[in-house]
Amino acid sequence: PGRKRDFSPVLWSQYFESMEDVVVENETGKDNTFRIYKSGLEGPVLLLLHGGGHSALSWAVFTSAIINRIQCRIVALDLRGHGETKVRNPEDLSAETMSKDVGNVVEALYGDLPPPIMLIGHSMGGAIAVHTAVANLLPSLLGLCMIDVVEGTAMDALNSMQNFLRSRPKTFKSLENAIEWSVKSGQIRNLESARVSMVGQVKQCEGAASPECPKAIVEGIIEEEEEEEDEEGGGSVNKRKKEDDTETKKEHLYTWRIELAKTEKYWDGWFRGLSNLFLSCPTPKLLLLAGVDRLDKDLTIGQMQGKFQMQVLPQCGHAVHEDAPDKVAEAVATFLIRHRFTEPIGGFQ
């Protein structure tokens, strides 16, 4: 209490070394450009795939954590329809199309001789990582890591997904407002990560009264100190808020970059059969979960047979790699060292 938390956005460049747009020609000869963020110069490539609605920036804090533990290169990708990636058909979020995108980006980056690659994906990105591996789109695939995605839980959750999406604010009056909402609602429990990653989830509305931005201002957060005097004694917060709201109507609002509710027809295809697909991948595998209750039958049997390595990271929300970036970095680093895919640095045990 007393100390105001800082909800201002932070630039990607504090966490990644470089950013580029990778051009991939599609069948019609028209170009798709995929935004990627990179760090590291040697060692295996950790190719990071974010969850639905998120962007490559959700891996920012994880990236600086893992780069200090092992020799590796990071490539975090904005999947189609997300972040700053621009494709001809952003609505096509089928598992097949998105897996092909991943293969195409790797080919555009490295040609016919890609370096060893470990695929790491969160939620939807975890499913896409598995589909990419199973379709054999990455010839140099070393290993596979899924973060908080299990077929049984995901399929069960699909029914409540639309309700969850409807419960979110439609617009935010500023980036700060969006970051504050994400932390206070528990979407991202780590303020540091929210400050860099929410920028990839929302965008400025073209016109404040455009169809995707309803005129109504939806307050993303509840004012905590309703009637307290502000420091300068300049009137109550409530009065000031009304003035802010009038101001807001003149500004451009922020809204979600992707309307996830409209992607519903692809959800089933991401997750159905995922457990067996994961188990069938011949490479070493790691499953990181926010809770042990998330295991389904196929994975429980596979786990008992030692077909993959599993770690539960308690006190995390669904965005495990954002909530506990150090723990996730530690788990991934340990996995890579154990399989002799890389070397530790900086005395990492």
CB 133, CB 278: distance < 8 Å: no
- Asked about 123 being catalytic, the answer comes back as yes
Instruction: Classify strands 171-172 and 254-256 as parallel, antiparallel or unpaired.
Output: antiparallel
Rounded CA gap, 78 and 262, in Å?
19
**Catalytic annotation, pick one of 78, 101, 148, 323:** 148
CB 85, CB 79: distance < 8 Å: yes
CB 22, CB 109: distance < 8 Å: yes
CB 257, CB 204: distance < 8 Å: no
Rounded CA gap, 346 and 338, in Å?
17
- Asked about 318 being catalytic, the answer comes back as yes
**Catalytic annotation, pick one of 122, 318, 321, 323:** 318
CB 71, CB 342: distance < 8 Å: yes
- Structural tokens at position 209: 């009264």
Taking the mean position of all CA atoms in its chain, how far away is CA 230? Answer: 36
Rounded to 5 degrees, φ, ψ at 168 are -80, 150
Distance (Å) of CA 348 to CA 45, 67, 129, 273, 333: 19, 11, 27, 37, 9
- Structural tokens at position 127: 């499913």
CB 173, CB 248: distance < 8 Å: yes
Give just the sign of the alpha carbon dihedral 39, 41, 42, 44: positive
**Helix residue spans in the chain (DSSP H):** 60-67, 95-110, 124-134, 151-167, 175-184, 191-197, 237-250, 264-271, 274-280, 297-304, 320-323, 325-338
Taking the mean position of all CA atoms in its chain, how far away is CA 239? Answer: 37
Give the residue from 30, 51, 84 showing the smallest Cα distance to 270: 51
**Catalytic annotation, pick one of 123, 182, 197, 275:** 123
Q: Which residues are catalytic?
A: 123, 148, 318
